[in-house]
A and B are shown apart, each in its own frame.
Chain A
Amino acid sequence: MNSIHPDERGYYGEFGGAFVPEMLYPNLTELRKHYLPVIESNDFKKEFRLLLRDYVGRPTPLYYSPKLSGEHGASVYLKREDLTHTGAHKINNTIGQILLAKRLNKKRIIAETGAGQHGVAVATACALAGIGCTVFMGKVDMHRQKPNVERMKLLGAEVVPAVSGSQTLKDATNEAIREWISHPADTHYIIGSVVGPHPYPDMVARFQSVIGLEISDQLKEKTGKKTPDYVLACLGGGSNAIGAFYPFIDNRVTQLIAVEAGGKGIHSGKTAASIALGRKGIIHGSRTYLIQTDDGQIIEPYSVSAGLDYPGIGPVHAYLHDTGKAKVVNVTDDEAMEAALWLSRREGIIPALEPAHALAYLRKMKFRPGDTVVVNLSGRGDKDMSIYRQYLHR
């Protein structure tokens, strides 16, 4: 199997690393030391696999979409992460991390969330494990993803509004890291994407790799071949994308396509397209592409989709982009909206706004008949109902 891992210091080429204040050194050293031995141990693997099956509902189906296939002239499959417990791929990672946190004897969990899907998945895993949790969420996001705030609270999580910056995912992440600095000993920080200092990007990628491994098996079963011609996924921090890409990196057949949030257009000043506009720098402890001024101040991003509204990108994606192993593109808010409506009306599946970006890019592609295309449908759209309603009535 082809896959991708950083070197022992956490670098994918020149990207990644661990640029954090000394206060976090002991925590990160502990994680770095233990994450691989723990997640590769038989007892962990067994417990993780069982929970993914019986609690999360894996494997999620790989659905052949007749309508998308007809529309685009290729065989289009949807990887149905929207059908997982809690409704997005985020749960794969939080179940993995909570099992790790328990083995490291952590007594409390903190997390950031953008769309609230990661927050809900953290609150769920914590309820399951009987560990208390605090979730930081930008105030703007608490408003636009309200149903998820209610869900987190019902699950017993404390939700703390992040009121700095643009009050979105970046700022929630800042607050979570500051909280971790202030409570290093017994607290585990469950990051929700392949971002942050080493070993987070690698750890989260490993927990999400189940998506791609299932795609490969399911495709074999359905079509006789294990490798699709294209895999598309939306790109916020990049966890669903790397999960879906995982077994296909470095094979010569599959073209990997990551779709960023263009917001109102990449030249509108209201965008979250980190690869399109970003320059190399450091955000949340890792070296990657980020949207910033000439002085190195991070620019507040914008996207209608809270889960993609982030000015950086996981270091592994910066590396895949620079080496040409993946293609990073972007679509606008409106294009994503249209794609979401289309799928709802034609297939009876209401996608989350995030994977609607991946769906929207299908329209910009040219396929040959017989091409096999997999779109990672990373989550369902319940949380986005008020935004969809507004769009319909505008």
Chain B
Amino acid sequence: MNNRINNLFHTKNGPVLSVYFTAGFPGRDDTVPLVEHLSEAGADMIELGFPFSDPLADGPVIQNSSRLAIRNGMSLPLLFRQIKHIRKHTDIPLLLMGYLNPVMQYGEDRFLEKCAETGIDGVILPDMSLEYFREHFRDRFCKLGLSNILLITPATPPHRIRQIDALSDGFIYMVSSDAITGGSPDLSRQQEYYRRVASMNLKNPTLTGFGIHDRDSFLNACRYSRGAIVGSAFIKHLEAAGVSRESVRKFMGSILP
């Protein structure tokens, strides 16, 4: 499939840094400038979280940013309007990340079409199982040129990792530990898992996420995968240091080598 995500992995040599933040946080209209600042400051890819009231895989930091974003009036229709705006200025690979229920209420088909129309490259829906994707979504994703990003964890059995690899086109989201977002993973257990997955020679690149919060954890993750995803740490930074260009640049400086 030819989209910005696959192009990125084909053309970039060094480690890939993807940054997650919740759209509409801290302010409703911060989404557009934050994407600009992040791409200027060296992010390779951006995951826009659309908020859900009951995010089961998320720790307190993203729970809180989601709650505030909802209170700020963030919704899928609004987010798609913001994305149209973003796409006038930047060509950075963009993903939407969120839970299935808001997508179902918006309409599954309508959601995917709107993604394609506004220039979204991929979608991460953590509570959508492989089986559900295969039966309901796969053809539509392909047709629209959207990457569906599936998760693997330290407990995912090898045969299932193979299945996930076979059904993926873009990258595989390698969750760093048995945890919700924002935790601090056990490094020694991680190493074994990172190595095991790396040795499987998957057709898709992997990006490591959950608990990546500084240069060390970023570089450690990059030893075994094509790059990493930073989420809670960036949101915490936004809470503390604000959304200015300077603040974002400072954060990126603390992660990038």
Q: Say which residue of B75, B102, B130, B178 sits within 8 Å of A182 (CB atoms).
A: B178
Known pairs A292-B101, A296-B104; A285 contacts B57 (CB<8 A): no
CB distance from B212 to the nearest CB of A (A): 17
Contact among B53, B99, B132, B150 with A17 in the assembled complex (CB-CB below 8 Å): B132
- Measured CB to CB, the closest approach of chain A to B113, in angstroms, equals 17
Q: Are A22 and B56 in contact (CB under 8 A)?
A: no
Among the stretches B155-163, B196-204, B248-256, the one at the interface with A is: B155-163
B116 close to A (CB within 8 Å)? no
Chain A residues contacting B126 (CB-CB under 8 Å) are 21-22
Is B128 in contact with chain A by the CB < 8 A criterion?
yes
> Assuming A9-B131, A181-B57, A185-B155, is B175 touching A22 (CB within 8 A)?
yes
Check if A183 is an interface residue, CB within 8 A of chain B: yes
Q: Which residues of A contact B104 (CB under 8 A)?
A: 280-282, 296
Tell me, yes or no, whether B61 is within 8 Å of chain A by CB: no
Task: Find the residue from A22, A25, A177, A185 having the highest chain B CB count within 10 A.
Answer: A22
Q: Give the total of A residues in contact with B, Cβ under 8 Å.
A: 34
Tell me whether B151 and A22 are in contact (CB under 8 A). yes
How many A-B contacts at CB < 8 Å in the complex? 102
Chain B 119-159 per-residue mask, 1 if CB under 8 angstroms from chain A, else 0: 00000001111111000000000000000001111011100
**Contact residues in B for A296 (Cβ distance below 8 Å):** 52, 101-106
The reply on B54 being an interface residue by CB < 8 A is yes
Are B178 and A184 in touch, CB under 8 angstroms?
A: yes
In the complex the two chains form, is B54's CB within 8 Å of A174's CB?
Answer: yes
Tell me the minimal C-beta distance from A363 to chain B in angstroms.
35
Q: Which chain A residues border B183 with CB–CB below 8 Å?
A: 182
CA A28 to CA B56, docked complex, whole Å: 15
Q: Which residues of A contact B208 (CB under 8 A)?
A: none
Contact of A295 among B76, B129, B156 (CB under 8 A): B76
Complex Cα–Cα for A183 and B105 (A): 31
Cα A170 to Cα B52 with chains together (Å): 14
The answer to whether B153 touches A22 (Cβ under 8 A) is: yes
User: Are A23 and B128 touching (Cβ within 8 A)?
Assistant: no
Report yes or no: B127 in contact with A292, Cβ–Cβ below 8 A: no
Contacts known (A20-B127, A282-B104); A26 close to B70, Cβ less than 8 A: no
In the complex, chain B residues whose CB is within 8 Å of the CB of A282? 99-101, 104, 127
Among the listed A19, A20, A25, A280, which residue makes an inter-chain contact with B156, where contact means beta carbons less than 8 Å apart? Answer: A25
Q: Check A19/B178 contact, CB under 8 A, given A26-B156, A295-B75, A297-B70.
A: no
| CB < 8 Å neighbour of A283 from B54, B130, B153 | B54
- Contact present for B106 and A182 (CB under 8 Å): no
- Are B132 and A182 in contact, with the CB atoms below 8 A? no
Specify which chain B residues have a CB less than 8 angstroms from the CB of A177 in the assembled complex: 56
- If A164-B63, A178-B180, A182-B179 touch, whether A285 touches B127 (CB-CB below 8 Å) is yes
CA distance A22 to B172 in the complex (A): 12
Q: Which residue of B lies closest to A20 (CB)?
A: B127
Closest Cβ of chain A: how far from B94's Cβ, in Å?
Answer: 21
Give the complex CA separation of A157 and B126 in angstroms. 31
Decide: A165 and B153 in contact? CB cutoff 8 A. no
Docked pose: A207 CA to B132 CA in angstroms: 28
Can you list 24 A-B contacts with CB-CB less than 8 angstroms, sorted by A residue number? A18-B129, A19-B127, A19-B129, A21-B127, A22-B126, A22-B151, A23-B151, A25-B160, A26-B157, A174-B54, A174-B56, A178-B59, A181-B57, A181-B180, A184-B155, A184-B178, A279-B105, A282-B100, A282-B101, A295-B75, A296-B52, A296-B101, A296-B106, A297-B70
Instruction: Sort A-B residue pairs by CB-CB distance and give the 6 closest, nearest first.
Output: A296-B105, A296-B102, A22-B151, A21-B57, A297-B53, A21-B126
Q: A26-B157, A283-B54 are in contact. List 5 more A-B contacts (CB 8 A).
A: A19-B127, A23-B179, A164-B63, A181-B180, A295-B76
